[in-house]
A = this chain, B = another copy of it.
Amino acid sequence: VDPARLQSSRDTTAAEAQRALDGKTKPPGSLGRLESLAIQLAVIQQTLTPVVDRGRICIFAADHGVTAEGVSAYPPQVTAEMTRVFARGGSAIGVLAREAAVDVEVIDVGVDAPAESLPGVVHAKVRRGSRNFAHEPAMTFEEVERAVEVGREAARRAARAGVQALGLGEMGIGNTTSAATLLSALTGAPAICTVGRGTGIDDAGLECKRAVVARALSYHAVTMGAPGSIDPRRALACVGGLEIAALVGAALEAPGHRMVVIVDGFIATVGVLTAARLAPPSELGRILPALVFAHQSAERGHGLALEAFRTLEHGAAPIHLRPLLDLGLRLGEGTGSALAIPLLRAAAHLLCDMATFEEAGVSGELRR
């Protein structure tokens, strides 16, 4: 598809959706963010009657060698244990997904446990956990490619199932450390701006985590490239994680299938940011308008990760970097994505189902 033609067709749909909303029985603009969300859905689906009937949360799960440095409040086996809880539905995301009537797909990209010990999970293990990036690259390029492909395949599977809204989630003890390091590498921001408490480490743990991230950044600096001219593929391999690479793949693939991509909190945002940095400029105009940031995470680096999208916009329609919800969540698993689903549905239904002033016989002419 010619990018200029794509953009023009998007602009036309956006203008038509705006006009349709302005004819509804309400003061113009009075539904605020729900109106821009409805327009975004119309543009993604290229229709004035968008639907969000089928939603899915993909939880990419993997372990992290860097947990050997004592960066997490929980032991690494919790990744496998929680992966089993997801499959049984007793987790927070299980509860929220049922409530939002979306399905959950748990994908083992790199959990450090035998596949047969994880029933009810999509088996796509690239290796049993990434390497400890305090001392060596977390992944080889080939492992990164395979993990990205796991994410792409998950997006294609969702598209084949008729999913219109793909929520990105993750599970991986140690993955805020990986995401913080990756975010520092991509933005040049120091560890103090990107490292937070994750699952809830104490002050001493936070100090240690910051030091691990700072050391890893210098250790991999030559390979990754200088801030400003960093190679995002190398950064992902050096300090990323298998589930983060899968998030990259899903974010690259889903927009081509007319799915809205609902980005969860800190880890998912860093994954999608990495995808946007890796994508060819011609793809960015499709990826960025497909994104909805679900919620403002309580994890420290999330605001910075969102801000980092500003430098990417390349003249495409502005994306809403302000997340839909701000509830102080810091759990991951796609919980924020699940909570955002009812708002997407509401926006789509307002555009489809509200009466117009004309249909309703209401005096829509402003008096001024």
Chain B residue numbers with a CB within 8 Å of A54 are: none
Q: Which residue of the partner chain, among B26, B95, B298, B366, contacts A349 with CB atoms under 8 Å?
A: B95
Q: How far is the CA of A224 from the CA of B325 in the complex (A)?
A: 40
Chain B residue numbers with a CB within 8 Å of A28 are: 200
Q: Does A345 contact B (CB under 8 A)?
A: yes
In chain B, what residue has the closest Cβ to A28? B200
Count residues of A near B (Cβ-Cβ below 8 Å): 66
Chain B residue numbers with a CB within 8 Å of A100 are: 342, 346
Within the complex, the shortest CB–CB distance from A90 to chain B, in Å, comes to 3
Q: Does A363 contact B (CB under 8 A)?
A: yes
Chain B residue numbers with a CB within 8 Å of A345 are: 99
Binds B, one of A72-80, A162-170, A187-195, A284-292: A72-80
Interface residues of A in 61-90 (CB under 8 A from B): 70, 72-75, 77-78, 81-82, 84-85, 88, 90
Q: Does A8 contact B (CB under 8 A)?
A: no
B363 and A74 form a contact (CB under 8 A): yes
Q: Does A328 contact B (CB under 8 A)?
A: yes
A363 and B75 form a contact (CB under 8 A): yes
A30 and B346 form a contact (CB under 8 A): no
A328 and B77 form a contact (CB under 8 A): no
Within the complex, the shortest CB–CB distance from A345 to chain B, in Å, comes to 6
> How many copies of the shown chain assemble into the complex?
2
B92 and A354 form a contact (CB under 8 A): yes
Chain B residue numbers with a CB within 8 Å of A2 are: none
Annotate A340-364 by CB proximity to B: 1 below 8 A, 0 otherwise: 0011011001100111000111110
Interface residues of A in 173-226 (CB under 8 A from B): 199-202, 204-205
Binds B, one of A31-39, A123-131, A240-248, A308-316: A31-39
Q: How far is the CA of A42 from the CA of B359 in the complex (A)?
A: 44
Q: How far is the CA of A33 from the CA of B295 in the complex (A)?
A: 12
Q: Does A330 contact B (CB under 8 A)?
A: yes
Chain B residue numbers with a CB within 8 Å of A343 are: 327, 339
Within the complex, the shortest CB–CB distance from A86 to chain B, in Å, comes to 10
| Contacts A24-B92, A204-B368 known; 11 new A-B pairs at CB < 8 A | A25-B82, A25-B91, A27-B330, A30-B331, A81-B360, A82-B362, A84-B360, A85-B360, A90-B353, A100-B346, A342-B342
| Cβ-closest 8 pairs across A and B | A32-B328, A90-B355, A27-B199, A33-B327, A342-B342, A30-B331, A81-B362, A27-B200
A-B contact pairs, 14 of them (CB 8 A): A25-B82, A26-B331, A27-B330, A31-B329, A32-B298, A33-B327, A73-B367, A88-B360, A90-B354, A91-B355, A92-B354, A99-B345, A327-B343, A339-B343
